[in-house]
Amino acid sequence: MPLATVNGISLNYQVKGDRAKGAAPLVVMIMGTGSPGRVWELHQVPALVAAGYRVCTFDNRGIAPSFESPSGIAIEDLVADTAGLIELLDEGPVHVVGTSMGARVAQELALAKPGLVRKAVFMAGHGRLDQFQRTLSLGEHELDGSGAKLPPKYEAALTAVMNLSPATMAQPAAARDWLDLFEFTGGPVTPGIRAQRRMDHDFDRVQAYRAITVPCLAIGFADDRMIPPYLTREVAEAIPGARYQEIPETGHFGYLEKPDEVNKTLLEFFAA
């Protein structure tokens, strides 16, 4: 993946798909807290490229080899990074897809830079956090600061509980595969990821989103414990003309649990 200088920092990005005359718009995909852009490569990028789209994925500030910004990260930084990358690629306006923290970036980008956004999709979008998310975040900060390391199996179980649907965990083979994956891909929390986790959690932007004018789709995951779907629906209800769609039997990683359904929803919205 090439490194570009954007908004005064280095960003690691990749573009897939053919750029041809009359081709479908570029899709820029924004990952959530602690995850690299390559996660989109598992399911969403192949489906979008097969449908004729070019797709840009990238590592947010905080995720190496992009600039880790260990001293701190603000949502305004991430929005400016994404806007700068779109301008660098010179293919705007683009479709924008974000999940979790990335959804919040997409929401703020659609509000601040509507000329860069053709359509926007917010998976696990949210304009605020409730008491549970704020408490969970404070607990993460305390754990990061303590230097304590959870046993891998216990950390894998917590990751599964927080990010997957009970319907997935009720399938023995699927549960085993996911738990094994989480156990063996876990590792130390980097300074950049800690900086992402320390971002402001006391925001309330719901009313501000009433000024968004680009076409928007908010996708809620029915069993999401990290960002419960009512917070995503709240964003859709605030944005004039926005659609809300809920994917059943999915948790926070719904785009990995039910990728075919998520991809179909994306493609239908972009084509409409």
Over residues 159-197, the pLDDT tens digits come to 999 999 999 999 999 999 999 999 998 878 899 999 999
Predicted pLDDT at 112: 98
What pLDDT sits at residue 141? 85
- Residue 22: pLDDT over 60: no
Q: Which of 100, 126, 165, 223 is the catalytic position?
A: 100
The pLDDT score that the predictor gives to residue 261 is 98
Is 252 a catalytic site residue? yes
Q: Among the CATH numbers 3.40.50.20, 3.40.50.1820, 3.40.50.10320, 3.30.1490.20, which is that of 3-131+191-271? A: 3.40.50.1820
What is the structure's pLDDT at 1? 67
How far apart (Å, rounded) are the C-alpha atoms in residues 46 and 25? 15
8 A C-beta contact, residue 84 and residue 105: no
Catalytic residue among 35, 69, 223, 252: 252
Give the mean pLDDT of 26-45.
Answer: 97
**Any idea where the domains of the chain sit in the sequence?**
3-131+191-271
Using the structure block, give the residue that is written with the tokens 């390559």: 38
Query: Is 100 marked active-site?
Result: yes
131 neighbors 154 (Cβ within 8 angstroms): no
> What is the structure's pLDDT at 58?
98
pLDDT tens, residue by residue, 140-163:
888 888 888 889 999 999 999 999
What is the pLDDT at residue 19? 78
Catalytic-labelled residue, pool 59, 77, 223, 224? 224
> Mean pLDDT score of the chain, rounded to an integer?
95
Which residues, listed in sequence order, are joined to residue 92 by a DSSP beta bridge?
A: none
Arithmetic mean of pLDDT, 85-95: 94
Catalytic residue flag (residue 146): no
The answer to whether residue 21 scores a pLDDT higher than 60 is no
